[in-house]
Structures are given as structure tokens and as C-alpha cells.
């Protein structure tokens, strides 16, 4: 997921926050966020420029966020007398409650480099090599088995809302019951031991 111009996404139109339009806007935006969250395979946000307000919320709905060095990210809604509902739920999971509260309550924006240091983005990539660096990153993902990526993502997501002992048990069950029933884990292990490239069932 990336922006078509200089910005990744500057958020929704401020006019859509007015009383006569806000409910339909919030519901439509929530559907977009949920659609990203519900994708079974990894979703990467390539933040090529400013990601503010709803733009950052869309990035937060992605599994991995890569940002162009110098890009600004933030939730400035508080300055308009409102708050970002999707970020209120997603941001603490990404950066912890204190950082999330600081960003939401002050409206402060951060550059990609600081965002990477705080865990908001996975990596701040060089401005002059951004597109190529994103392509290299995506090549790492697309070189893996899609069924295994799907299960790995499900295991990580399932652990977010459970106590640690339950999360560990759920991950073990996914590994033993679902993963080991696939062709690709056995192919990957055999390829490693035979010193050859794996041939995934769907790659």
C-alpha cells in the first residue's frame, strides 16, 4: 500500500468530521481499516511521504510499515478538537500506551527516523533509493511460501489478544496442526538440508 503522489496519505477531508457527515465517514473509514486488517497475507505500507491523521491510521492497519527517510507521521486530530479512533486502538499495539498517548494527546508529528526508533515503522529507508529498497524488501516476502506466511501472520495476530500462556499454546497448535499439514514446511527443511533452493507449492 503506497501513495500515488508526494504524500502517502494526508487523511480524510476535515469537512467530513462535521456533525452531518462524521458518522458515515467514520463507518466507511473503519471498513477500510478492517479490510486491511483482514487480509490473510502480509500487507506492507510503503510510506513514501507524509502519513497524517487517517493516513497514519491506514498505515497502522498494515503488518509492516516502511517509510521514506524524512517522511512525517502523526495524528494531529487533537488540534481540531477530535481524536483518531482507529489510532486509539492500533497505535498502543505498535508503540505502547505511553508513546501512543503522547502522539494522540499532543498531535506531535515524528520523522521516519524517529518513528523507526520508537517501533512505529519497521525501517526508515533512504530517500534516494526508497522505491528500490521497498522492492528488495517485498522480494524477501514474496520469496517465501504463501501458505506459511498466512499461518505465521495468523499466529502473531492471535497472540496479541491473549495472555502469554494461551498465545504460546495457540501458536504451538497452529504449528503442529496447520503448518505441518502443508507441503511447504517439509520442502523448505529438505531444501535446506540438501543445500538447494526450495520449490514452494504456490510460489
Residues with catalytic annotation? 57, 77
H-assigned helices in 83-145: 85-95, 97-106, 112-117, 130-142
3-state DSSP helix/strand/coil % of the chain, to nearest 5: 60, 10, 30
- 98 — phi, psi (to 5°)? -65, -50
CA distance 7 to 127: 13
The residue behind cell 508526494 is 6
Amino acid at each position: 500500500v503506497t501513495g500515488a503522489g508526494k504524500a502517502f496519505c494526508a487523511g480524510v477531508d476535515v469537512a467530513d468530521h462535521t456533525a452531518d457527515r462524521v458518522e458515515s465517514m467514520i463507518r466507511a473509514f473503519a471498513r477500510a481499516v478492517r479490510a486491511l486488517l483482514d487480509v490473510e497475507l502480509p500487507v506492507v505500507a510503503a510510506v513514501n511521504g507524509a502519513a497524517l491523521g487517517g493516513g497514519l491510521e491506514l498505515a497502522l492497519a498494515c503488518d509492516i510499515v516502511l517509510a521514506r527517510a524524512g517522511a512525517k507521521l502523526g495524528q494531529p486530530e487533537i488540534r481540531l478538537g477530535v481524536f483518531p479512533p482507529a489510532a486509539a486502538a492500533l497505535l498502543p499495539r505498535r508503540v505502547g500506551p505511553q508513546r501512543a498517548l503522547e502522539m494522540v494527546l499532543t498531535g506531535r508529528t515524528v520523522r521516519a527516523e524517529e518513528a523507526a526508533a520508537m517501533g512505529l515503522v519497521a525501517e526508515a529507508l533512504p530517500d534516494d533509493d526508497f522505491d528500490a529498497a521497498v522492492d528488495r524488501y517485498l522480494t524477501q516476502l514474496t520469496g517465501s511460501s504463501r501458505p506459511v506466511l498466512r499461518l505465521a501472520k495468523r499466529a502473531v495476530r492471535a497472540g496479541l489478544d491473549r495472555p502469554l500462556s494461551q498465545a504460546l499454546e495457540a501458536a504451538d497448535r497452529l504449528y503442529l496442526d496447520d503448518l505441518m499439514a502443508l507441503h511447504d514446511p517439509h520442502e523448505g527443511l529438505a531444501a535446506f538440508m540438501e543445500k538447494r533452493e526450495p520449490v514452494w507449492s504456490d510460489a
